[in-house]
Amino acid sequence: MGIKTPLINSFWLTRSFATTVVNNPPKDGQGNEMKIEITDRAVKQLLSLMARDKHDNEALRITVDSGGCHGFQYFYDLTPVNALKEDDVLFENNGAKVVIDSLSLGLIKGSKIDYTEELIGSQFKVVDNPQAATGCG
Amino acid sequence: MHRWLKPKATFALLRNRNFLKNYGQRRATITRGLNTSPITINQPSFQVIEEESVHQGEHYVQVPKRGLVELAGKDTMKFLQGLITNDITSINTGVNVFYTAFLNSMGRVLFDTFIYQKNGVPEPVVLVECDLRIIPEFTNHLKKYLLRSKVVINDVSSEYKIWNIWGNKNLSDTSGLNSTLFKGGYVDQRCSGMGLRILIPANMKPNLTSKFTELPSEEYAIRRILHGVPEGIDDFVPEKALPLQSNFDYMGGIDFRKGCYIGQELTFRTYHTGVTRRRILPVQLYPFSATNAPTKLSVDRNIQVVTPVPYSDIHPYGQSGRVAGNIGVCSHNIALALIKLDKVDVDDLVVYAEGKKHIYRVKPFIPSWWPKDENEQKQK
């Protein structure tokens, strides 16, 4: 019997490699590569933002800072790709770019960057953060 | 995550917030301690009525088991504001020291602290007083949330000592303190009657007139118990104690009108919608064979009982499964304990020490400085 990757596995494999690190592949304290995933919805929204603003060289910057009722909060911003700082890590999925500085990346590695559309408004969001115990908003 | 805070409910929450804000202001008028304004050194406002004879008169005592961490840098205020239960912006309005707690994200007490402003220009420098035994945990907690905040953290426990001063004399007798302090002396706001709490370099003693006499530092704990003021990890079990059960609201350690801080969610909700059924209060231990319970809290220094270790269970006699509370700091025959308020009048509470070798009866007392409305709640 030939070895065949089950369908569900190949699905996850393609997903986890859909986002690539463009520069600065970072390692955490244990020597593991720190990765994030940009979801298709986030890609679609980022690309449409670029198209609307006629900028093709912008990235979504995600920063983690202390504050809020659970200790840490996320900040989102758009930043030109050519103005990256030394410790910035650039991720790309199908042309959509996300920039995270390595300090923040340590706190959100393994998360997904999603775009959620809800009644109260739509927003980019860090979801499924393995480092987060609790959260709100 | 509480159901209120699911994203779809956020609208309702935002509208309710104003309601709660007003409600908080109404509550504030009956809750003591929200005012943390400092005294000017000439006010006679540290007059204390001491019932214990050793403490009567003018005395000072070195506060034991307390350490200090210095925070300096331009982000200090903003950084601390996100971590503490009290409002650090009060420093800008002339308050130089205030009492506050650090909670974890589950709303449990980690550290009980005083924050002293050392210097405001050009960059703020503050000293945070915390239990000496958990200074490493405290600095780790701060460093965890530091990220890119411009704050330098240093343990300066060996450089300063904390003193407690009280007496019936006019405070002008303490004017000699001015030279050694950052900005004068401060009335300990936790309860009326604790006196002044001051911070001076470790190689100095408070510069006071001869009317003041020094007492051994174990008297600090005795006085604290008699006044019903919990402090440190013996009284606040780290990661377990809840801020309202620990009297931080009574002692002016929580600002219910400030914005987000770690652990705010549970604290705020309990304050406005919950009932606090347990609190830390003074108790007297007396022999199991005694027929009458003591009617007044008083220390007997001749009694050298084997004291129960902190966190020992207090329960009705013969019902060790029905825990009514836990003991905290203990000295001679008195202690602080976290007790269910509906068990305050129960006569058969006991606590064991050294396994089950020693047994004492426990008589709780409600401190006189507690707000009256809460006492009435207890009666119901």
Would you state the pLDDT for residue A13?
42
**Is B269 a residue whose pLDDT tops 90?**
no
**Residue B37 pLDDT exceeds 60:** no
Q: In this model, does residue B180 exceed pLDDT 70?
A: no
B263 touches chain A (CB under 8 A): yes
Are residues B161 and B297 located together in one domain of the fold?
A: no
| Average pLDDT over every residue of B1-28 | 34
Number of domains observed in the structure of chain B = 2
CB contact under 8 A, B105 and A70: yes
Determine the pLDDT at residue A38.
92
User: Given this model, what pLDDT does residue A18 score?
Assistant: 66
The answer to whether residues B88 and B219 belong to one domain is yes
User: What CATH number should be reported for the domain holding residue B330?
Assistant: 2.40.30.110
Residue A22 located in a structural domain: yes
Q: What is the mean pLDDT of residues A23-38?
A: 78
Q: How far is A21 from chain B (nearest CA, A)?
A: 23
Contact B4, B12 (CB under 8 A): yes
Residue with the larger pLDDT of the pair B120 and B31: B120
Cβ burial of B134 (10 Å; 0-12, 13-18, 19+) is middle
Query: Which residues in B18-108 belong to E strands, given as ranges?
Result: 59-62, 66-72, 97-103
Question: What is the average per-residue pLDDT within B58-62?
Answer: 90
Query: Does pLDDT of B230 surpass 90?
Result: yes
Going by their DSSP bridges, the two strands A112-118 and A37-38 should be labelled as parallel
Which of A36-40, B5-9, B100-104, B376-380 comes out lowest in average pLDDT? B5-9
pLDDT surpassing 80 at residue B2: no
Greater pLDDT, B238 or B122: B238
Query: Would you place residue B4 in the very low, low, confident or very high pLDDT band (cuts 50, 70, 90)?
Result: very low
CATH at A61: 2.60.300.12
- Structure tokens belonging to residue A9: 């596995």
The predicted pLDDT at position A14 comes to 42
Q: Quick one: B181 and B59 in the same domain?
A: yes
Q: Is residue A133 part of a domain?
A: no
What CATH number corresponds to the domain at position B171?
3.30.1360.120
Residue B13 within any structural domain of the chain: no
Task: Give the per-residue pLDDT at B370.
Answer: 87
B89 and B222 in a single domain? The answer is yes
CA distance A4 to chain B (A): 41
Q: Is B13 on the interface with A (CB under 8 A)?
A: no
Mean pLDDT in residue range B209-232: 91
Q: B265 to chain A: nearest residue by CA?
A: A69
What percent of chain B has a predicted confidence (pLDDT) above 70?
A: 79
- Per the prediction, chain B carries an average pLDDT of 80
Q: Which of B197, B227, B257 finishes a domain? A: B227
Instruction: Indicate the pLDDT class of residue B173, thresholds 50, 70 and 90.
Output: low
Q: Would the pLDDT of B29 be above 60?
A: no
Q: Is the peptide bond before B122 cis (omega within 30 degrees of 0)?
A: yes
Evaluate whether B208 touches B52 at the Cβ level (below 8 Å). Answer: no
Is B312 inside a domain boundary?
A: yes
CA distance B166 to B43: 13
**Does residue B196 belong to any structural domain of this protein?**
yes
Q: Using the predicted structure, report yes or no on whether residue B91 has a pLDDT greater than 90.
A: no
**Structural domain total, chain A:** 1
Q: Which of A64, A66, A137 has the CB atom closest to B5's CB atom?
A: A137
Q: Is residue A4 part of a domain?
A: no
Question: In this complex, do A137 and B7 lie within 8 Å of one another by their Cβ atoms?
Answer: yes
Question: Given a cut of 90, is residue B247 above it in pLDDT?
Answer: yes
In this structure, the answer to whether residues B58 and B141 fall within a common structural domain is yes
**Across B242-250, average pLDDT:** 93
ipTM surpasses cut 0.85: no
Cβ within 8 Å, pair B262-A118: no
| pLDDT bucket at A15, cuts 50 / 70 / 90 | very low
pLDDT, tens digit (0-9, with 9 covering 90-100), for B280-302 = 999 999 998 888 888 888 888 88
How does pLDDT run across A70-111, given as a tens digit for each residue? 888 889 998 888 888 888 889 998 889 999 998 898 888 889
Q: Which residue has the higher pLDDT, B322 or B132?
A: B132
| Contact of B139 with B151, CB cutoff 8 Å | no
Length of chain A: 137
Residue A6: inside a domain, yes or no? no
Arithmetic mean of pLDDT, B55-73: 91
Backbone angles phi, psi at A5, to 5 degrees: -70, 130
Q: A2 exposed, middle or buried (CB, 10 Å; 0-12, 13-18, 19+)? A: exposed
CA–CA gap between residue B346 and residue B233 (Å, rounded): 27
pLDDT of B55 strictly over 90: no
Greatest mean pLDDT among B202-211, B253-262, B371-380 lies in B253-262
Q: Is residue A76 part of a domain?
A: yes
Say if residue B202 is in the same domain as residue B76: yes
Same domain, B208 and B353: no
Is B357 part of any domain?
Answer: yes
pLDDT tens for each residue of B310-353: 888 999 988 888 889 999 999 989 999 999 998 888 888 999 88
Instruction: Give yes or no: residues B75 and B220 share one domain.
Output: yes
Q: Which residue has the higher pLDDT, A33 or B144?
A: B144
Tokens 């986002």 correspond to A19
Partner-chain contact A71 B105, CB within 8 Å: yes
Closest CA relative to residue B118, chosen from B130, B129, B127, B106: B127
Interface test with B, best of A61, A62, A64, A70 (most B CBs within 10 A): A70
- pLDDT beyond 60 at B14: no
Q: Is the pLDDT of residue B108 over 60?
A: yes
**Which residue of chain B comes nearest to A107, CA vs CA?**
B147
B124-130 mean pLDDT: 91
**CA closest to B147 among chain A residues:** A65
**Residues of chain A positioned with their CB less than 8 A from the CB of B261:** 69
Q: Tell me the residues of chain B between 196 and 215 that have a Cβ less than 8 Å away from chain A.
A: none
Range of the domain at B100: 53-227
The domain in which residue A115 lies consists of: 11-127
Confidence of residue A7 (pLDDT cuts 50, 70, 90): very low
Q: Which chain A residue's Cα is nearest to B81?
A: A67
CB contact, 8 Å: B82 with chain A?
Answer: yes
Does residue B5 belong to the interface with chain A, where contact is any CB pair within 8 Å? yes
Residue A63 lies in a domain: yes
Estimate the crossing angle of helix B264-273 against helix B10-30, to 10 degrees. Answer: 60
- 3-class DSSP assignment, residue A132: coil
Q: How far is CA A115 from the centre of its chain?
A: 10
Question: If DSSP codes are grouped into helix, strand and coil, which group holds residue B130?
Answer: strand
Binning pLDDT at 50, 70 and 90, where does residue B28 land?
A: very low
Contacts of B39 (CB under 8 A, 6+ apart): B45, B46, B171, B184, B185, B186, B187
Give the B window 97-156 contacts with A, CB below 8 Å: 105-106, 144-149
> Residues B78, B180: one domain?
yes
Instruction: Identify whether B151 is part of a domain.
Output: yes
Q: Estimate to the nearest angstrom the gap between the alpha carbon of B150 and the chain centroid.
A: 29
From CA A84, how far away is CA A101, in angstroms rounded? 9
Q: Which of B193, B227, B261 is the last residue of a domain?
A: B227
Domain assignment present for A5: no
What pLDDT is attached to residue B128?
A: 94
Which SS3 state, helix, strand or coil, does residue B215 take? strand
Query: What pLDDT, on the 0 to 100 scale, is given for residue B169?
Result: 60
Would the pLDDT of B261 be above 70? yes
Provide the 8-state DSSP code for B5.
Answer: G
Where residue B226 falls (left for φ over 0; alpha for ψ -120 to 50; beta otherwise) is alpha
Asked if A103 and B105 come within 8 Å (Cβ–Cβ), the reply is no
Residues of chain A with C-beta less than 8 angstroms from the C-beta of B105: 69-71, 133-134
Instruction: Please indicate, yes or no, whether residues B90 and B153 belong to a single structural domain of this protein.
Output: yes
Pair B287, B375 in one domain:
yes
Q: With respect to residue A3, please indicate whether it lies within any of the assigned structural domains.
A: no
